[in-house]
Structure 1
């Protein structure tokens, strides 16, 4: 089995994740400029032109900024659900019809040796969805940009080998920070982003015997810090009897630098 991935960039300034097997490679979102995306691919020694396609999670700019450019320049198929396509209209430029594909929520699409399962999340977008990647008995889950993790979501994402999991903010930092109350309320809402503690509680519910790696993703640059997110998650997991470094390893992600390629 050859399922591997890199979190190319993660945060409010732009998001992109590379997932691949021996037969196919996919990009989840492209929320950075075409030039920056090229740089990130170079740093993991991969080529954008070798991609099988781009999977879109939702239409917010930190997830779609570079999609149109990459699709047009490299003739890459783009997959999104119908509501997201409509919401992206006018935001990504013209994408040729033969490169536009529907991938609806709660569906499975197969790319050779890789099955991709989409699932809905709770976020203030048209129809946001994220993905679970399956190859044989290996499973990778990407879940960010959700205000909470429902029981339905937990059932879909349970017992993955690896997770890229949102750990967006520290509640106290957010409450004491400079954001207007309207934005704070949006982030804290059920269609906003999960906090470090809430993320860890959800992780504890979905982790299984197979789970070995969790990447803390989409950290707020204003309302979180890597060390704080890691400490909060470690402490919360410990209250549920899960010791990081023994049962599972935590990894940081970065808004500007890719994580090392890792096999699931």
Structure 2
């Protein structure tokens, strides 16, 4: 794509109401998940001056509706291949509806794809789905990782997302807000479990192990609208990091926001780029 240098991305929407992210470089543009209607995804792309005709494919993390709601419609509208592992395909086939055989692409966990200079690799995560995955992207020395909907950060996940320049990481809930919230106890127990969602504290603990000179910023993602707030997430993550001896200045490492109702600004993984919206 003319004028694009290295990796760029925008989180179109993040949260239980729907998830979608675009990653692109000069050779390709990839949609991660399509958890909103095709119409809404089109609207969000237009806000970032992009259209579905520019996409080269869709990656699926897992089969939950907030990640695949518009998957079939978007794939049919733009004749896009869908990449997912075999177990996820079995779980989403009915929801996706009719697509051509060429659009159904098997990408087993741990496999990689290349689109010119853009290399994509999947890695397994812990969540109550058939075979959920995260993804990381490389273009030369640049690396972007996306890891949401995971109950905990395993050693394998830590290895997969290490040495990232930028990370999109789940910070789903404040533990006390969840415990005091209106959800039934069975639902709370599922969210707090190793196959549930990552808490603010757990996100901070993971970041305290990951933070190094290379990582520039982390986007906190998939926040619960009932049991979290971005301000609380940022404060808790920072406190968790500092309690483990990981201190930083905003000029050295940034915690950035994602939104359920609007896309993040395009982020370029360059040394000099600073996001328009930093918490």
Name the TM-score, length of structure 1 as normaliser: 0.98
Matches within 5 A, 1:230-245: 230-239=234-243, 240-245=245-250
Deviations 1:101-143 (A, max 9, x none): 0111011211111010100000000000010101100000000
In structure 2, distance between residues paired with 1:89 and 1:20:
26
State the partner residue of 1:247.
252
Shift of 1:174: 0.3
In structure 2, distance between residues paired with 1:178 and 1:36:
29
In structure 1, distance between residues paired with 2:107 and 2:90:
13
In structure 1, distance between residues paired with 2:98 and 2:184:
35
Aligned counterpart in structure 1 of residue 182 of structure 2, from 178, 181, 184: 178
CA RMSD, Structure 1 to Structure 2 (Å) = 0.9
In structure 1, distance between residues paired with 2:251 and 2:45:
32
Q: Secondary structure at the match of 1:164?
A: strand
Aligned counterpart in structure 2 of residue 59 of structure 1, from 53, 58, 63: 63
Shift of 1:205: 1.2
Aligned counterpart in structure 2 of residue 200 of structure 1, from 197, 204, 211: 204
In structure 1, distance between residues paired with 2:251 and 2:18:
32
**1:159–1:209: 8 Å Cα contact kept in structure 2?**
no
Which ranges of structure 2 fall in alignment gaps of 5 or more residues?
A: 270-279
State the partner residue of 1:77.
81
- 1:45 correspondence with 2:65: no
Aligned counterpart in structure 1 of residue 220 of structure 2, from 216, 223, 242: 216
**2:6–2:142: 8 Å Cα contact kept in structure 1?**
no
In structure 2, distance between residues paired with 1:135 and 1:154:
20
In structure 2, distance between residues paired with 1:200 and 1:91:
35
State the partner residue of 1:262.
267
Shift of 1:49: 1.2
In structure 1, distance between residues paired with 2:146 and 2:155:
16
**1:123–1:191: 8 Å Cα contact kept in structure 2?**
yes
Aligned counterpart in structure 2 of residue 154 of structure 1, from 133, 154, 158: 158
Matched pairs, number: 264
State the partner residue of 2:146.
142
Shift of 1:242: 2.6
Aligned counterpart in structure 1 of residue 26 of structure 2, from 9, 22, 27: 22
Bigger mean CA offset, 245-254 vs 159-168:
245-254
Shift of 1:244: 4.5
In structure 2, distance between residues paired with 1:241 and 1:25:
35
**1:9–1:253: 8 Å Cα contact kept in structure 2?**
yes
Name the TM-score, length of structure 2 as normaliser: 0.93
Deviations 1:184-224 (A, max 9, x none): 00000000001001011111212222100110000001110
